Amino acid sequence: MAIEVEQVSSVGLSNIAVSDTHGEDSPYFAGWKAYDENPYDEFNNPNGVIQMGLAENQVSFDLLENYLEKHSESSTLRPRSSGISSFRENALYQDYHGLLTFRKAMASFMERIRGGRAKFDPERVVLTAGATAANELLTFILANPGDALLVPTPYYPGFDRDLRWRTGVQIVPVHCDSSNNFQVTPEALEEAYSKATSMNIKVKGLLMTNPSNPLGASIQRSVLEEILDFVTRKNIHLVSDEIYSGSVFSSSEFISIAEILEARDYKDSERVHIVYSLSKDLGLPGFRIGTIYSYNDKVVTTARRMSSFSLISSQTQHLLASMLLDTEFTDNYIKTNRERLRRRYEMIIGGLKKAGIECLKGNAGLFCWMNLSPLLENNSTREGELELWESFMHEVKLNISPGSSCHCSEPGWFRVCFANMSEQTLDIALNRISSFMEKRKY
């Protein structure tokens, strides 16, 4: 039974508590609420809303489950070969550096998903409770309240909360467009930087996602070179969020910023910081495993101190360390996961094409970038886009993310997730879209 308490408005709260920079009034989060009120279920609610706004990887969950079931020695309740349980070690306070075995495992796994083309030092691995905590922690370290980070658009809607809300740091969008598949250009970078400085806003860094969320595409090597040259010229930081680096359909098409730095003999690398997580590639968002990998000694030291606010439990580290160090398993997982994601991607792209809908060509991630701008007709505005989004939510019963929530400069683009459901559910979603498109013809 709920306990209702009369709320007295005179009881004051902090500026952060009453700030509207949490970003949760965005259609991105509103779509989740609509789904929660009427969730699709094959048997109990077949006419409910299908969740296509959640970037969650469930296509290879069986591989993880089977491995952990077969390797029960990962449990802290099992006795070691010495006959002594490791329960005590994991139950008591841990060093906030994290378990060395797990940091080694993370460094090894990050190397393997990049095909061994980049090296990672476990001593530079800082553990955090997910990529959300990692990005916010880096923002606290790199910028002061009122300063800004440049972020190329379209970008993950959660950044409006993660980077701004508690830090007081601003986001200055770097506007990209469809004329070059939303790739970042030197001109767009200069324009955003100049706009910020003209408003007396100090730019402290640039944050990019590679592969991109929501585009589902990796950044070309030449563009990465230009971005690194730009931040070096401006003497600002570069944060490369690479949480989808292991979810690339073709490994040869993904270039990590770490590879660029190695090719440059790590010149000016102290301004570069990589964010990684096991939430997307391994489909373990509930485990809250994130990583900051910085080439800056002071950032590593400070991040470790601040990470005490967002530690990963010893049990979680112990459970996954041996799995990540099992190269036979990880190599098979990476290969199989990529094949399954490619199959899903081809399934949704093919289904949308049959319905007359084009998408940006992608090669990574758990989503596609769908172009519905032709449906806006004479109302090619943000308002027109949101009206179309409402139609999808209430008529088609699909939660997709409108481009405006990603700060896309062109109305009519939508992010559509495909890896958080069964193929049968995805097929139902595609049939709903096809029926909607047929009705729009008349």
Q: Which of 104, 204, 280, 397 is catalytic?
A: 280
Say whether 193 is catalytic. Answer: no
Q: What are residue 364's phi and psi, to 5 degrees?
A: -160, 165
pLDDT at 242: 98
Q: Give me the residue label for tokens 């970037």.
A: 55
Residue 22 and residue 158 in contact, taking contact as beta carbons nearer than 8 Å? no
pLDDT at 78: 56
Indicate the CATH number of 82-326 among 3.30.70.80, 3.30.70.360, 3.40.640.10, 3.30.750.24: 3.40.640.10
130/80: higher pLDDT: 130
Integer Cα distance of 57 and 165 in angstroms: 27
Give the percent of the chain with pLDDT over 70: 94
- Helix 327-354 to helix 100-112 angle, to the nearest 10 degrees? 50
pLDDT at 442: 59
Q: Is the pLDDT of residue 340 over 60?
A: yes
pLDDT at 129: 94
pTM for this predicted structure: 0.94
Residues 6+ apart with CB under 8 A from 289: 127, 129, 130, 277, 278, 279, 312, 316, 320
> Quick one: average pLDDT of 173-187?
96
Q: Is the pLDDT of residue 154 over 60?
A: yes
From residue 411, alpha-carbon distances to 23, 24, 189, 377, 407 in Å are 20, 20, 21, 11, 10
Q: Which of 147, 160, 162, 241 is catalytic?
A: 241
pLDDT tens readout for residues 160-172: 999 999 999 999 9
pLDDT at 230: 98
pLDDT at 101: 92
Q: Is the pLDDT of residue 288 over 60?
A: yes
Average pLDDT of every residue of the chain? 91
Q: Is the pLDDT of residue 264 over 70?
A: yes
**Considering only CA atoms, which of 127, 34, 81 is closest in space to residue 320?**
127
**Considering only CA atoms, which of 121, 126, 122 is closest in space to residue 101?**
122
For domain 15-62+330-440, say whether CATH 3.90.1150.10 is its number. yes
What is the pLDDT confidence band of residue 318, given thresholds at 50, 70 and 90?
A: confident
Q: Which of 40, 156, 193, 276 is catalytic?
A: 156
Say whether 361 is catalytic. Answer: no
Integer Cα distance of 35 and 399 in angstroms: 7
**Considering only CA atoms, which of 280, 302, 24, 234 is closest in space to residue 131?**
280
Say whether 428 is catalytic. Answer: no
Residue extents of the structural domains in the chain: 15-62+330-440, 82-326
Q: What is the DSSP string of 287-334?
A: G--EEEEES-HHHHHHHHHHGGGSPPPHHHHHHHHHHHH-HHHHHHHH
pLDDT tens readout for residues 34-81: 889 999 999 999 999 999 999 999 999 999 999 988 886 655 555 555
Q: 85 exposed, middle or buried (CB, 10 Å; 0-12, 13-18, 19+)?
A: middle
pLDDT tens readout for residues 208-243: 999 999 999 999 999 999 999 999 999 999 999 999
**Considering only CA atoms, which of 253, 234, 231 is closest in space to residue 244?**
253
Say whether 243 is catalytic. Answer: yes
pLDDT at 74: 59
286/343: higher pLDDT: 343
Q: Give me the residue label for tokens 């292991």.
A: 246
Q: Which of 171, 227, 243, 255 is catalytic?
A: 243
Structure tokens at 41: 């279920």
Q: Is the pLDDT of residue 338 over 80?
A: yes
